[in-house]
Chain A
């Protein structure tokens, strides 16, 4: 069926009227062009909005302690408790779906008082005691020096990584930062790195004004003992944090003698759930793109069907001759179908290529601008979309050819031959 002869027949038939073939192809090309552009634009918007998550590991939740709201095992309600460093290992052990469990301690906070001093400059910053893994959950670009590593943790080194915002407030422009000391709540820390965070949320500026120090040094320097302020937990790919949330809570509750039904004792923020809402929006957007794109494509398909009908009409005599020479109805049908599918695919490919070109241009333009504040980033379509578009094309090509193919063999050979 896919022999060389069949192909040359198709090419011959389609090239015998160039202008008409091109015009017909344009309909389908336009349809697939719109489809791909819409999908790419949707993707661009999605990328832009998701950039707002700052590249944060979205399959994550944050967990902190609150007061116990139910009496349990002889203890009253209203009791306060703290996470302990041992909880981290217990959670990791008992909830294998988790990829990262980061205990965190924090100094400062919203409208905190000045807590960091360098020479004559002072500032109020959030200071975090962290493990090295936090950079996977809360990505940041290390612009100079390095981030915390495990040697820092083990040796309780008093080192700090400061944000761009901190540097601009505490240091003069162009001043060397690495190796200098800052005083956090009266304790000296050596600056070993600077970072810049991604994200375009309202607190973008705030996010550049943070200081990270090793968790162990933090605990020792600021008398936290084995207490843990809060945790950032990230589940492995393939399992969602929302599903393992309850397991984590149960571990915490049993370790701190909290009533199993006490929902208020452990505070949490499920990033994945929020993310899913945004995701839902984009799925809807994608559906709209497909809907509109396919409808536009449909008009192109009808155009092809229409032209194929005319072609069949025009070639009635030729079809009669072919049948007189021994063409079976199926070979005629196949010929018309293949022509229609071929034309559809070629024009669809042209549409895809054109759309890709436009997307490339847009991307090129975007790359010239600072996109961090934009809600639009890197519009693109992946191979899957292209494959879906192609299969839509093949199916629609067959559909477009079906009626004309039937038309071609409906007329009897003897009548077909008589047609001029």
Chain B
């Protein structure tokens, strides 16, 4: 699903440049649930951003579902992001003045889907994350866990090939974190490929594979036996 080879990225900071990714080689198969770990500054967020086409690598190749991601125009990138990727953020990034339902429907809006169909689809995803009765509520009327579940529904709405989650539990307490992870595991069980960036070991243990980053290089890439989040709840 994701094929990355020899990925380099550096940031220019005034006179000196900061080499963040120093040649990453990394493949993800369909249906995997991978966690990317590393201390801050290890380059895990940069890697995720490049995977999410929000940023571009300086060097190396990146194929997503066989499609080369290289030198995309902003318009192309926007289209691919919409079609291939679903984002889950640490700070949820829901749009404050839109109801939960409208937030979930937003990616479909950018697909140009008709309103009624959009609302139906969005509603079914809200049901899936168990928030159907909260559909008309604004994000600030929801708890953190609920917000993240809305964000997950939104990421799923466009039926993407890969879900990219950047510290999805970073702003949540332990219990809510596990609930969110349970949802992520459930979605993964349905066969969707998910990448989770985290620095919490217990969260990482709930994925199927842990990739450890340090100073821009992968130092460890191990398959783990998945801990079901449900057992903790």
Contacts and interface: CB of A to CB of B under 8 A. Distances in A.
Interface stretch (B28-36, B59-67, B73-81, B121-129): B73-81
A4 B115 CA distance: 9
Interface stretch (A161-169, A301-309, A322-330): A322-330
A397 to B, nearest CB: 22
Interface residues of B, number: 28
B78 A327 contact: yes
Contacts of B111: 326
B54 A324 contact: yes
Interface string A269-292: 000000000000000000000000
B106 to A, nearest CB: 5
Contacts of A409: 74
Contacts of B79: 326, 328
A326 B107 contact: yes
A321 B55 contact: no
B95 A318 contact: yes
A16 B140 CA distance: 14
A243 B69 CA distance: 74
B46 to A, nearest CB: 9
B82 A326 contact: yes
Interface string B95-108: 11110000000110
A21 to B, nearest CB: 13
Given A5-B109, A321-B95, A414 B115 contact: no
A318 B115 CA distance: 21
Contacts of A412: 54-55
Of A12, A412, A417, most B-chain CB atoms within 10 Å: A417
Interface in A148-171: none
Given A5-B109, A325-B81, A325-B87, A413 B75 contact: no
A326 B97 contact: no
Give the dominant DSSP class at A's interface. Answer: helix
A325 B75 contact: no
A117 interface: no
B112 to A, nearest CB: 9
B106 A322 contact: yes
B42 interface: no
A67 interface: no
B78 A417 contact: no
B110 interface: yes
B62 to A, nearest CB: 15
Contact of A328 (B75, B93, B107): B75
Contacts of B109: 5
Contact of B154 (A12, A317, A325, A327): A325
B54 A417 contact: yes
Contacts of B158: 325-326
Given A414-B54, A417-B89, A420-B91, A326 B115 contact: no
Contact of A414 (B49, B75, B94, B96): B49
A12 B97 CA distance: 7
Interface string B143-169: 000000000001000100000000000
30 contacts: A13-B97, A16-B96, A16-B97, A320-B93, A321-B89, A322-B95, A322-B106, A322-B110, A323-B78, A324-B52, A325-B81, A325-B106, A325-B110, A326-B78, A326-B79, A326-B82, A326-B83, A326-B107, A326-B111, A327-B78, A328-B75, A328-B78, A328-B79, A329-B74, A329-B75, A331-B110, A412-B54, A414-B49, A417-B89, A417-B93
Interface of B: 49, 52, 54-55, 74-75, 78-79, 81-83, 87, 89, 91, 93-98, 106-107, 109-111, 115, 154, 158
Complex A-B, nearest 7 residue pairs according to Cβ-Cβ distance, in ascending order:
A326-B82, A326-B110, A414-B54, A328-B78, A321-B93, A16-B97, A325-B107
Interface of A: 4-5, 12-13, 16, 317-318, 320-331, 409, 412-414, 417, 420
